[in-house]
């Protein structure tokens, strides 16, 4: 019995106290094993698919009172016979049921093996399989919605449409190799080039969802920096809606970075409050300033909070603003009268004037951040977004398609053959995205991100 046909088992619920714990079994022996360990008024294997029974798991002695769900191939998550045993929550009961199943012939599932079998058995493609782990790991409503659309196949449809068009273009181009130059006419190759260009445009649209995908999966780091007593901690507390950071009139209160998770515009964000930027004499504060600068260098968005009611010291004002579109300048303490104005900063810097002690001021900053997030994630594609794996394969395919179009313009038997080869490579790479072509290493890389019971 090989690894793809034997019967596997895993605990599908998280460890710890809970209402129920689910042990999932999949494979040809699932029903037979359930018959051996489930004590109830009928045999589990006699149940029709999509039915349930109540009984006890017994392996010598009763282990737990359970509800058993039966799914018969091909109408199951893996398209194999599947039995799910729902026992009482908690790690002990689940482990005892798991041990009983293992003793009767199943083996422990590998991470993601249930979903891997769903892919190998044709229930889902590789893009949909990846959506499963994205849905599990979703940190916001927006991330969950994106994963659901991907799981429903909307991104796969776009990829498959490109793949099918590339197959058509490749077949037409291969066909042309059997003819002498000029026999097919200029219009024949022009239509192939137009089809390839159409695919390239669609791939570019798909590629434009990558940045949003990174934000949804990994979150956005927003760093709050500025001189001491400018209002950084007040801003953090206001954005979080609770007092997380100490607010004091004493300069240098924050000596280390303070990080908190939140959600903004459906994007998971990590706010980082930092030590005040100044020439500190205290070694502890110096280390805090160093850490602040390190955080600034790795931020997705930088908020520079400045006391707008007083002139900014020369040592505290940067001579230049790298990646200006990632910066938000907050001129705080407008209630005291602003000495500094938006006009004091480069026109390409987003800048707001407000009082952070007022909820209106916090809203002003939050609204500015929302605009920055929505600009960076704007896309005409469906909500489903590509991953880094998809991005790398699309970029490879685009390079080959561009080479193909250049060669098509050159014409000639040799250039047509080279164009066909480039188109084949691009087609295979796009096929790898959905798993039309795959290697064991690729599957290992994808499914190793999963937990054991999924």
Rounded to the nearest 10°, the torsion over CA 361, 367, 373, 374 is -170
Label residues 141-164 b or e (16+ Cβ within 10 Å = b): ebbbbbbbbbbebbbbebbbebbe
pLDDT in tens, 261-295: 888 888 888 999 988 776 566 666 667 777 878 88
Q: By CB neighbour count within 10 A (0-12 exposed, 13-18 middle, 19+ buried), where does 202 fall?
A: middle
Q: Among all chains, which residue has been given the structure tokens 């001579």? A: 319
| Calpha distance 85→98 (Å, rounded) | 10
Lowest mean pLDDT among 23-27, 28-32, 317-321, 435-439: 317-321
Per-residue pLDDT band for 48 (boundaries 50, 70, 90) equals very high
Lowest mean pLDDT among 178-192, 229-243, 350-364, 379-393: 178-192
Q: Which residues make beta-bridge pairs with 330?
A: 305, 352
| Calpha distance 229→249 (Å, rounded) | 6
> Going by DSSP bridges, is the β-strand pair 61-71/82-88 parallel, antiparallel, or unpaired?
antiparallel
In the chain, what is the straight-line distance between the N-terminal and C-terminal CA atoms, in Å? 22
Number of other residues whose CB lies within 10 A of the CB of residue 68 = 23
Domains defined for the chain, CATH in brackets: 8-124 (3.30.1360.120), 128-209+385-435 (1.20.120.430), 218-376 (3.40.50.300)
| Calpha distance 376→373 (Å, rounded) | 5
> Going by DSSP bridges, is the β-strand pair 220-225/301-307 parallel, antiparallel, or unpaired?
parallel
pLDDT in tens, 220-262: 999 998 888 888 888 998 888 867 655 545 555 555 678 888 8
Asked if residues 102 and 25 have their Cβ atoms less than 8 Å apart, the reply is: no
Q: Among all chains, which residue has been given the structure tokens 């009482």? A: 88
Mean pLDDT of 342-362: 88
| Contacts for 294 with CB less than 8 Å, ≥ 6 apart | none
Sheet holding 51-59, edge to edge: 38-39, 51-59, 61-71, 82-88, 20-26, 8-11, 107-108
User: Tokens representing 208?
Assistant: 């434009």
What pLDDT is stored for residue 348 in this prediction?
Answer: 84
Mean pLDDT of 300-322: 77
């Amino acid at each position: 019995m090989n690894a793809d046909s034997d019967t596997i088992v895993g605990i599908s619920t998280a460890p710890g106290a809970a209402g129920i714990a689910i042990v999932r079994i999949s494979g040809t022996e699932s029903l037979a094993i359930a018959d051996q360990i489930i004590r109830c008024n009928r045999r589990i294997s006699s149940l029709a698919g999509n039915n349930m029974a109540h009984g006890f798991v017994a392996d010598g002695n009763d282990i737990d009172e359970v509800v058993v769900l039966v799914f018969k191939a091909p109408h199951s998550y893996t398209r194999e016979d599947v039995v799910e045993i729902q026992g009482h929550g908690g790690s002990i009961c689940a482990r005892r049921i798991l041990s009983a199943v293992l003793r009767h012939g199943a083996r422990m599932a590998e991470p993601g093996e249930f979903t891997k079998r769903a892919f190998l058995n044709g229930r889902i493609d590789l893009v949909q399989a990846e959506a499963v782990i994205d849905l599990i790991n979703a940190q916001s409503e927006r991330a969950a919605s994106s994963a659901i659309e991907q799981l429903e196949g909307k991104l796969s449809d776009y990829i498959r449409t490109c793949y099918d068009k590339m197959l058509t273009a490749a077949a037409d181009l291969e066909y042309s190799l059997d003819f002498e130059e000029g026999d097919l006419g200029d219009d024949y190759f022009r239509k192939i080039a137009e089809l390839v260009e159409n695919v390239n445009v669609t791939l570019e649209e798909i590629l434009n969802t990558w940045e949003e995908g990174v934000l949804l999966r990994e979150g956005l780091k927003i760093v709050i920096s500025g001189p001491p007593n400018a209002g950084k901690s007040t801003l953090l507390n206001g954005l979080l809606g609770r007092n997380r950071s100490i607010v004091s009139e004493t300069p240098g209160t924050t000596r280390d970075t303070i990080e908190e998770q939140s959600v903004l515009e459906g994007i998971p964000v990590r706010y980082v409050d930092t030590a005040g930027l100044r020439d500190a004499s205290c070694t502890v504060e110096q280390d805090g300033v160093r850490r602040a600068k390190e955080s600034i260098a790795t931020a997705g968005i930088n908020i520079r909070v400045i006391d707008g009611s007083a002139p900014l010291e020369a040592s505290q004002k940067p001579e230049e603003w790298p990646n200006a579109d990632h910066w938000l300048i907050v001129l705080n303490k407008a209630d005291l009268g602003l000495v500094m104005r938006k006009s004091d900063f480069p026109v390409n810097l987003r800048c707001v004037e407000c009082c952070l002690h007022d909820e209106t001021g916090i809203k002003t900053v939050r609204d500015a951040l929302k605009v920055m997030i929505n600009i960076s994630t704007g896309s005409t594609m469906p909500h489903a977004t590509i991953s880094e794996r998809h991005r790398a394969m699309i970029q490879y395919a685009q390079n080959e398609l561009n080479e193909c179009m250049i060669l098509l313009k050159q014409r000639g038997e040799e250039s047509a053959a080279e164009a066909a080869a480039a188109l084949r490579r691009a087609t295979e790479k796009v096929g790898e995205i959905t798993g039309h072509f795959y290697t064991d290493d690729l599957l290992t890389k994808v499914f190793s991100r999963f937990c054991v019971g999924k």
